[in-house]
Amino acid sequence: METISFEQLQEELYHEKLPNGLNVYILPKKGFNKTYATFTTKYGSVDNTFVPLGKDEYVKVPDGIAHFLEHKLFEKEDGDVFQQFSRQGASANAFTSFTRTAYLFSSTSDVEKNLETLIDFVQEPYFSEKTVEKEKGIIGQEITMYEDNADWRLYFGLIQNLYQNHPVKIDIAGTIESISHITKEWLYECYNTFYHPSNMLLFIVGPVEPEKIMNQVRDNQSKKEYKDQPEIKRKFEAEPAQAAEKKQVLEMNVQTSKSLVGIKALHVDQSGTDLLKSELTMNVLLDLLFGKSSENYNQLYNEGLIDETFSYDYTQEQGFGFAMIGGDTSEPSKLAEKLERMLLDAKNKNGFSEEQLERAKKKKIGGFLRAVNSPEYIANQFTRYAFNEMNLFDVVPTLEKITLMDIQSLAAEVISEERFSVCQVVPKK
Amino acid sequence: MDDAAEKITEMQGYKLHVIETDKYKTNTFVWKMKAPLTKEDVTKRALLPQVMQSSSAKYASTTALRSYLDELYGAMFYVDLAKKGEYHIISFTLEIANEKFLSDPSPLLKKGFELLTEILTRPNINGTAFDHETVEKEKRTLKSRIQSVFDDKMRYSSVRLITEMCKGEPYALEVNGEAADVDTINPENLYEYFQKAFLEDEMDLYVIGDVNEEEVKNLAGELLKFESRKPKEIIKQEGNRNVQVNEVKEEQDIKQGKLNIGYRTNIVYGDEDYFALQVFNGIFGGFSHSKLFINVREKASLAYYAASRLESHKGLMMVMSGIDLKNYDQAVGIIHEQMEAMGKGDFTDQELAQTKAVIQNQMLETLDTTRGITEVLYHNVVAKTDINIETWLNEMQNTTKEEIVAVANKIALDTIYFLTGTEGGQ
């Protein structure tokens, strides 16, 4: 077991890679009541074309299957794992993103028992035809719920505008039609391919003794037989650099319009320190451009084009990435035009001072400290970073190194009209 | 539970609550102001903190104020509003980095305290009125916030249930006030209200973090001083008892129906049977092992979510679920059956033990966040009680099956609200 110290943060992280390939991380947090553990596979909604374990040909699986699998893993021959967790005083959950499926619990007692339950339930699938059918009703309601959710439709609509071929444009839960094709055979095929320990990461954060927990995980894993697995082959179609669609307007049963401008990322083959630097630089750029202390924000707010729902974000993963800026507005088209103009202005002129950059960095550093108060944030983000060969605890040192030059060259490169797109939700007539 | 041990000091015009803990990398201030919920004041109370957080005398524009917050290592400053029973509560929260985790050693706690003081006591005014432009902008934002409730159907249906159920009671008022009243507010009458609120509201300051109680007390005593007051109390009325269950259906162009059911628990925080009510709610609908989740979702596959939650000071319980329009009768039927089962004591010892374990866990987890600590402790201010965490947990654990059945029989169904699609029953 290796120990990694972060002196400024006063944290110590313990790590070991087990013989079966599973990466285990433990971060002790004194003073907290809660222990939070996530068991995550590097498998999400975008992994829809791959070579199944033991086969030679690529298959394309039904949309929404990674999420469906996540639901079904909780069900066992003798009942529901939720029940077992709550008998042990824990609360359990799971989520599926574009690139990950995570299973988690938090508890303030019986941590070892709950950890055992977490690892075992994820590693012992039980899918039956009957329960697969029953789940279609429940997930159908989850899909319908999102269909009525204007913010979700706006967000996904924008991704669909930006991407032509990449499966990031497919809704994580799929559609009622696509999930109707899911069978227990498909579930096992996905499970066997993606749930091998070498494709997974276990993170435990809380008031725990690292040596004891690591021993427990070692014991648990050594009892299970896993054959070494070859590298997983995933396939993605080529994706053009420009946005697929310029604009999409969705009519919904709302009273307030919404407008969101997106920028399709460049260099989506990055990983490790390059990716970390790109992502942080882009986020600092957006802060400088649209943060509450920025000129742009105040201009838009004063003109009544934005309100407190205004937000912006940048995310980049293997194969895709996007910035999104916008919110509720009385004038969706005018807001989109202004945002695009502000972005293009930033591309063309060197408009930021050292002082502004220093302030923006301070803001991000303080924000990071606030974030690491949260065990959930640490476990989830650490895992995301690790799957992209980055280290969460490199955030502050990397931020400190960002220069005005970095900001300006990124702006010059990434901001480009052909990669812009707009999605709007407007009241139904 | 020493991590939620608060040291309370009576200050000039407010109470100071200090919670010393070294588990966070930040220090948090929460300033709370409480007043009876009235139609006359509620919209002003929604607007006031928004105007106050936009600028101050020293930081006269949003850009200036927000730049200073960024400068203080991205100190987070926000306001929020809540209803606790028939009180309206404004909270100002400032969370600031603890400099011991930074390479820069400038003392942030004091700067944070000074900034909070600036915002609370030195607003951006001209004579006896708030800055005109700021008020106009924030009125616009408030209107859009009030309007946006309509667009979030889950939230909308919860709000509609309360307005139907509590018609004629102050609790029916929304925390953000009423769109029609926004235009009656101007920079002058808002400033008058600002003075009134700081003269009459019950005010509490929570400071949580790796701080020294003496130091905080000294700073607070030096910086924040107000007139002493006797906070206004609401006159407790018997909740309206609907003899007949009120059933309301509203049609909108939506895909999923939202079912919201309201009950009067007739039990509030501080009552002897409040702890049994907590356990009741846990068995009935609070968790993913509860009767509602198991029967509406897992067994009947009718919904993705089906849950219940309590309002502890007004004495309400709300059930919510998103269902297909055609399944209304079946879902309502299943929910009624679960309530009947509770009244007959039709739950196992295992369900009881499991629920207590999960509630205990939930409470301890809540205390791991500064927001959670503040909210848990603030119940005592609202209910005028003095229940510490240990007592809370013990009382909850000691609850018996008989007490839970008694609670179940005290709970009365009041209103069933269904937001349904335009296709009617499909």
The mean pLDDT of chain B is 95
pLDDT of residue B158: 97
Mean predicted confidence (pLDDT) in B194-207: 98
At B424, the pLDDT band (50, 70, 90 cuts) reads very low
DSSP string, A20-63: TS-EEEEEE-TT-S-EEEEEEES--TT--EE--TT--S-EEPPT
Residue B267 sits at φ, ψ, to 5 deg, of: -135, 135
The H or E element containing residue A107 is: strand A101-107
The whole domain housing A308 covers: 247-427
DSSP string, A112-160: HHHHHHHHHHHHS----HHHHHHHHHHHHHHHHHHHT-HHHHHHHHHHH
Q: Which of residues 98-157 of A touch B (CB under 8 A)?
A: 106-109, 134-139, 141-142, 144-145, 147-150
Residue A129 sits at φ, ψ, to 5 deg, of: -55, -45
Domain membership flag for residue A264: yes
B225-251 in b/e form (b: 16+ CB < 10 A) is eeeeeeeeeeeeeebeeeeeeeeeeee
pLDDT of residue B426: 39
Residue B416 sits at φ, ψ, to 5 deg, of: -115, 120
Q: Which residue carries 């990322």 as its tokens? A: A265
Domain membership flag for residue B256: yes
A70 catalytic per annotation: yes
Kindly list the residues from chain B whose CB atom is less than 8 angstroms away from the CB atom of residue A307.
Answer: 140-141, 144-145
Same domain, A60 and A197: yes
Domain membership flag for residue A82: yes
Is-above-0.80 flag for pTM? Answer: yes
Same domain, B124 and B22: yes
Same domain, A153 and A7: yes
Domain membership flag for residue A50: yes
Quote the minimal CA–CA distance from A230 to chain B in Å: 37
Per-residue pLDDT 10s for chain A (429 aa) are 999 999 889 999 999 999 999 999 999 999 999 999 999 999 999 999 999 999 999 999 999 999 999 999 999 998 889 999 999 999 999 999 999 999 999 999 999 999 999 999 999 999 999 999 999 999 999 999 999 999 999 999 999 999 999 999 999 999 999 999 999 999 999 999 999 999 999 999 999 999 999 999 999 999 999 999 999 999 999 999 999 999 999 999 999 999 999 999 999 999 999 999 999 999 999 999 999 999 999 999 999 999 999 999 999 999 999 999 999 999 999 999 999 999 999 988 778 999 999 999 999 999 999 999 999 999 999 999 999 999 999 999 999 999 999 999 999 999 999 999 999 999 998
Query: Among positive and negative, which fits the CA dihedral B97, B100, B104, B108?
Result: positive
Same domain, B217 and B250: no
Domain membership flag for residue B234: no
- Which among A7, A70, A133, A211 is annotated as catalytic? A70
Measured CA angle at B153 (ends B147, B155), to 5 deg: 75
Kindly list the residues from chain A whose CB atom is less than 8 angstroms away from the CB atom of residue B63.
Answer: 293-295, 298
B379 within 8 A of B385, measured Cβ to Cβ? yes
Domain membership flag for residue A95: yes
B9 touches chain A (CB under 8 A): no
CA distance B87 to B206: 19
Q: Under 8 Å CB-to-CB from B86, ≥6 apart: which residues? A: B36, B37, B169, B170, B171, B234, B313, B314
Q: Which amino acid is at A344?
A: L
Mean predicted confidence (pLDDT) in B14-31: 96
Same domain, B89 and B146: yes
Same domain, A214 and A270: no
- In sequence order, what are the beta bridge partners of A263? A323, A420
- Rounded to two decimals, the ipTM of the complex is 0.91
Helix ranges (H only) for B93-182 are 108-121, 132-148, 153-165, 179-182
Quote the minimal CA–CA distance from A3 to chain B in Å: 20
- In sequence order, what are the beta bridge partners of B417? B248, B260
Same domain, A134 and A264: no
- Per residue in B132-152, pLDDT (tens digit) is 999 999 999 999 999 999 999
Same domain, A201 and A262: no
Q: Which of residues 282-301 of A touch B (CB under 8 A)?
A: 291-295, 298, 301
pLDDT of residue B106: 86
CA distance B343 to B408: 5
At B415, the pLDDT band (50, 70, 90 cuts) reads very high
Q: Under 8 Å CB-to-CB from A421, ≥6 apart: which residues? A: A158, A161, A162, A243, A244, A245, A246, A247, A248, A261, A262, A264
Residues A253, B254: C-beta atoms closer than 8 Å = yes
Quote the minimal CA–CA distance from B372 to chain A in Å: 12
Same domain, A158 and A268: no
A379 touches chain B (CB under 8 A): no
Per-residue pLDDT for B246 more than 70?
yes
Residues B26, A370: C-beta atoms closer than 8 Å = yes
Of B188, B223, B258, the position where a domain reaches its end is: B223
A170 touches chain B (CB under 8 A): no
Residues B254, A366: C-beta atoms closer than 8 Å = no
Same domain, B83 and B123: yes
Same domain, A8 and A151: yes
A71 within 8 A of A135, measured Cβ to Cβ? yes
Domain membership flag for residue B426: no
Q: Which CATH number do you get for residue B218?
A: 3.30.830.10
Domain membership flag for residue A231: no
Per-residue pLDDT for B425 more than 90?
no
Same domain, B217 and B319: no
Domain membership flag for residue A86: yes
Same domain, A349 and A413: yes
Residue of B298, B301, B370 with shortest CB distance to A80: B298
State percent of chain B over pLDDT 70: 97
CA distance A202 to A220: 13
Which tokens hold the place of A182? Answer: 């899911």
Kindly list the residues from chain B whose CB atom is less than 8 angstroms away from the CB atom of residue A375.
Answer: 368
Q: Which CATH number do you get for residue A30?
A: 3.30.830.10
CA distance A396 to A388: 17
- Per residue in B41-96, pLDDT (tens digit) is 999 999 999 999 999 999 999 999 999 999 999 999 999 999 999 999 999 999 99
The whole domain housing B193 covers: 2-223
Residues A292, B256: C-beta atoms closer than 8 Å = no
Q: Which of residues 336-375 of A touch B (CB under 8 A)?
A: 359-360, 362-367, 369-370, 372-375
Domain membership flag for residue B91: yes
B330 touches chain A (CB under 8 A): no
Domain membership flag for residue B237: no
Residues A145, B141: C-beta atoms closer than 8 Å = no
pLDDT of residue A349: 76
Q: Which residue of A has its CA nearest to B76?
A: A367
pLDDT of residue B3: 57
Residue of A10, A89, A328 with shortest CB distance to B357: A89
Q: Per the structure, how many domains does chain B have?
A: 2
Same domain, A188 and A307: no
Domain membership flag for residue A233: no
CA distance A114 to A204: 11
pLDDT of residue A78: 86
Domain membership flag for residue A234: no
Same domain, B291 and B252: yes
Q: Per the structure, how many domains does chain A have?
A: 2
CA distance A163 to B283: 46
